[in-house]
Amino acid sequence: MATISIRVSDDLKAKLEGLAHESGDTISGVVTEALGSMVGSPRTDYPEEMAPLTIAPVNRLILRDQELILAALSEDEEDAAYHKRNAQIFEKGYVREYPEAFAVLRPEIPNSRCEELYDILDMFRVLRASYEDLPEDEKAEVDERDISPQGFDYNDMEEGRLAGYVKHLFADKRYEELAEPLRKYSDGGNSHGPRLEMYRRMLHCFKPLWRKHMLGDRFLGLAEIEKVIAAQRYDSGY
């Protein structure tokens, strides 16, 4: 972790010490959180809260004007009142009210997690295509649920965000062939239990198997499908 040094006035240092004492944190922690908020990082104690701890005056003015424009354009009285309230928050600098004005935002999903989600969906796409290519007698050996996406746990912050991303992809006409099995084997995309670690185990098993097929056969065989399914177990070694 990098280290930076800054000079502050005695008055500012005293205020930082007081804030650290009130929050049960260190001065370093308070400053780090403030800097993280300024560059768009969520607070560690409220990871879903995207409101900055401070906004530069020029940005407050821009946000105030945008909210007033939206209020003027809105045909719904309640919506117009919401934007007028936000405009006042930004104009007056009511920092404590910033979270409400920024409530529509959610933390970014890192690119690495997006890529992992694509890999998971690609895996189920291949598994289901391979299943459909099996002879009927071999199909009978496979439970279709095991080669279908079962959604993500809405009660888990990370999995819930991935579930929302999957819905976005379906609405964008991507991975549409997985929408029906997802509905069949989940509650509208909600698995009501953790699934990400299970998908990761399956993916760890699937990737080297699929790599062998990329220049040859288009589909996995029954034994390979069963091997990926077996990786679902937490004690599978994957």
Q: Please indicate, yes or no, whether residues 96 and 189 belong to a single structural domain of this protein.
A: no
Answer yes or no: is 59 within a domain: yes
What's residue 78's pLDDT?
95
The parent domain of residue 65 ranges over 10-101
What's residue 47's pLDDT?
47
Number of domains in the chain: 2
Answer yes or no: is 211 within a domain: yes
Q: Please indicate, yes or no, whether residues 95 and 32 belong to a single structural domain of this protein.
A: yes
Answer yes or no: is 4 within a domain: no
pTM (two decimals): 0.75
Q: Please indicate, yes or no, whether residues 97 and 115 belong to a single structural domain of this protein.
A: no
Q: Please indicate, yes or no, whether residues 66 and 148 belong to a single structural domain of this protein.
A: no
What's residue 104's pLDDT?
86
Q: What is the mean pLDDT of each run of 10 residues along the chain (238 residues)?
A: 81 81 76 66 55 88 97 96 96 92 87 95 97 95 96 94 96 96 96 97 96 84 96 94
Using a CB cutoff of 8 Å and minimum separation of 24, what contacts does 229-236 make?
Answer: 229/142, 229/143, 229/146, 229/147, 229/202, 230/205, 231/201, 231/202, 231/204, 231/205, 231/206, 232/146, 232/198, 232/201, 232/202, 233/201, 234/197, 234/198, 234/201, 236/201, 236/205
What's residue 59's pLDDT?
93
